[in-house]
Structure formats: C-alpha cells, structure tokens
Structure 1
C-alpha cells in the first residue's frame, strides 16, 4: 500500500530514507548527470533519440540502485511526479554537499 503525502515537503524526507545506500545514491548521481548530458546532446543535435537516452540513463541507473543495492521499490512507481522532482533536489543536495555520495 502506498503512503500518502500532502506536499513535496512531506515526501522528500521519505524519499531520502529510501536512498540510504551510498551505491544507490551514486547510481542516481551518475544517471542524472548522464541524463542531463543526453538532453544537451538532444538540444545541440536536434535529435529526439537523445531524449530517449536521457530517460534510459536517468531511470536505468536509479532502478539498478534500488533493485540491487537498496533492495526496495523505486518511488517512481507510487509517486512519479514527486519522485522525479526529488531526484533533481537530491542531485542538487549532493552537488552542494548536503548529502554524502
């Protein structure tokens, strides 16, 4: 059963709790960084194939982290919009040193 959240502010601490494994966080970091790189290539080259690459990298690396290292189900399946936003907030928090990775 999915937990209900009234706001992103309520969801984000839960999201971070689902990312306690450092390898999972590193895979999220890698996937998000590669996704951004693919989006730059999509814009520069004008090819939608790079957008597919961004989705594959972003979700692929994250899901590997969850299934093989965190041993939980990605929040994407139960809270897709909050989860997508939380990925980018977590990346920012990792880049600014608020979260260790």
Structure 2
C-alpha cells in the first residue's frame, strides 16, 4: 500500500485511527500518554524540570513499539507529526469517553476502503 496523501486533518483522521486498528495498540497509547502526562504534571508541580520531558519520552517510548509489535506498521507520526499529535489527543479523548468501539469501526472502514 502506498502512503496516502491528505489535504486536511479531517481526511487524515480515519487513516490515523486505522493505523491504530487494534484495541491493544490504542490502549498502549492511552497508558503511555497518561503516564507521561502524570509524571510531567508532577514534575511541574514539584519544579523538577527534567520530569516534564516524561510526556514525550514515555508517550513515544510506549507507542512506537506498539506499532511494531502489535499493529505491524509504522507510526503515523513519521509522516504527519502535527496531525498525529492532534489525532492522539482525539483518540484518547474518545477512549476516555467510552468510545473505543467506535474507533475500531472507523479503523475497519478505512482499511476496507483502502486495501
């Protein structure tokens, strides 16, 4: 499959979700992001500047291997870093709202339409 091109975030979003088609990949993302966020917030509150780096370090250190070992693809971040951050935020918000099944449906539709 060739790497698709997108003219807007709205076009990119279903692709981003499809690159996280397996629930395990999404949950690893959620866990890494929330852990990094908690440690960063603690560092900010305690004025320990180095801990603020936990969000990107822990977030990416958990997400990228999930793409390799669970999903079997490359992270969308490599081709679309800004939209990927936005997509990660939207995906996590949906998961926290109990909408993980909807994410699976978006992924399945995009994959079926683009294979």
Structure 1: any 5+ residue segments left out of the alignment?
Answer: none
| Whole-angstrom distance in 2 between the partners of 1:62 and 1:87 | 10
Q: Secondary structure at the match of 2:100?
A: coil
Greater shift, 77-86 or 37-46, is seen at: 37-46
Structure of higher RCO (CA pairs closer than 8 Å, 6+ residues apart): 2
TM-score, with length taken from structure 1: 0.91
Give distance in 2, aligned partners of 1:4 and 1:42: 38
Q: Report which of the two structures shows the higher radius of gyration computed on alpha carbons.
A: 2
| Residue range with higher mean Cα deviation, 50-59 or 23-32 | 50-59
How far residue 39 of structure 1 moved from its aligned partner, in angstroms, is 2.1
Counterpart position of 2:35: 34
Confirm or deny: 8 A CA contact 2:6 2:12 kept in the other structure: yes
Number of residue-to-residue matches in the alignment: 101
> Where does residue 99 of structure 2 map in the other structure?
98
Flag structure 2 segments of 5+ consecutive residues without an equivalent: 105-115
Superposed structure 1 runs of 4+ greater than 4 Å apart? none
RMSD: 1.6
Cross-structure match for 1:79: 80
